[in-house]
Amino acid sequence: MHLHRNILSLALAAGVLGLASCNKGGDFAKTKTGIEYKIFKNDGGTKYSSREVSADGDATYKDRIGKILALDVEYRTAKDSVLFNSRKQQGIPMRIELQELQVKGGLEEALSLLQPGDSAVFRFNVDTIFAKSFKQPVPEFMKKAGNTMTMFVKAQKLQTRDEAMADQQKSMMEQQQKMAAHAEEQLKKDDVILQEYVKKNNMTMQKDASGVYYMVTKPGTGPKPKAGQTVSVLYKGTLLDGKVFDSSEKMGNKPIDFPIGVGQVIPGWDKAIPLLAKGSKATLLIPSSLAYGQRGAGADIPADAPLRFDVELVDVK
């Protein structure tokens, strides 16, 4: 339970509760360290009003040190593109242990201004925030977007460590149950989509019990890999509309190496690659629940997207 330092690992909350609209009205206040902010206290239900904070910070923060803050977060570039979203990518609130401020002007100080129930918009200079909170240079795409980064936050509740641990375990179990139910239902929908794709493209496919479709286009003569063995695979991954989202060609035509059956790749690969003999080339059609599921992956793979892979099993080690 700590504040991750790498922006790429931070989950961000979608629609941090409609706060995007809050950002449109009124001026930002500013701390002495340069953080621009708008903080709104909950007046009951969906009603919020502006909450003033001293330029020196929130005097009550000392009472929250050592507690765990559960919150939803969203980051956006200066061009208002969403970078990450905690509810969509994590499914449960982030939980951060509040500590005495060692560095001011960054994320830690921004969160110290929040009380449970608050919603807020913070705007940072990108050079400052990456230097102070992420300890790394500003990524090029962030520089191109502009010199600021905006953070939307909903502070849900303050808990002891034991309360937070128990609450997080409960939330994770509930999330896993929801995801499993969704995956089961989506598998049926994906199967209809994949059957239509096979028919439309005049393909002769076999279907594994897991729901993966596969077609060997060039038989291999070597052994089939077993669980735990490391394989080398050349591949091209596409959406069903033909858009390429990844390939070995992009990596200099070097095969990817991974052990079978230990979860280092998507479940569909762990299921399908052992069906092939060394040297085989094949086409795989993988339901979304055995690929990237309802969260998708990055900007190229949307939620609930069945995928096609054209693969070659180069080696079994």
pLDDT tens-digit readout, 101-128: 988 899 999 999 999 999 999 999 999 9
Q: Are residues 44 and 93 in the same domain?
A: yes
> Given this model, what pLDDT does residue 268 score?
95
Domain that holds residue 43: 7-159
Q: Are residues 104 and 222 in the same domain?
A: no
Q: Are residues 77 and 149 in the same domain?
A: yes
Q: What is the CATH number of the domain that holds 308?
A: 3.10.50.40
Report if residue 165 sits inside a domain.
no
pTM to 2 decimal places: 0.56
- Averaged confidence pLDDT in the chain: 86
What does the alpha-carbon distance between residue 222 and residue 229 come to, in Å, rounded to a whole number? 14
pLDDT tens-digit readout, 239-280: 999 999 999 988 788 999 999 998 899 999 999 999 999 999
For residue 46, is pLDDT > 70?
A: yes
For residue 10, is pLDDT > 50?
A: no
Alpha helices in the chain (DSSP H): 19-22, 86-89, 107-112, 126-129, 140-145, 161-200, 267-272
What does the alpha-carbon distance between residue 284 and residue 241 come to, in Å, rounded to a whole number? 15
Instruction: Among 139, 159, 179, give the residue marking a domain's end.
Output: 159
Report if residue 96 sits inside a domain.
yes
- Structural domain count of the chain: 2
Report if residue 234 sits inside a domain.
yes
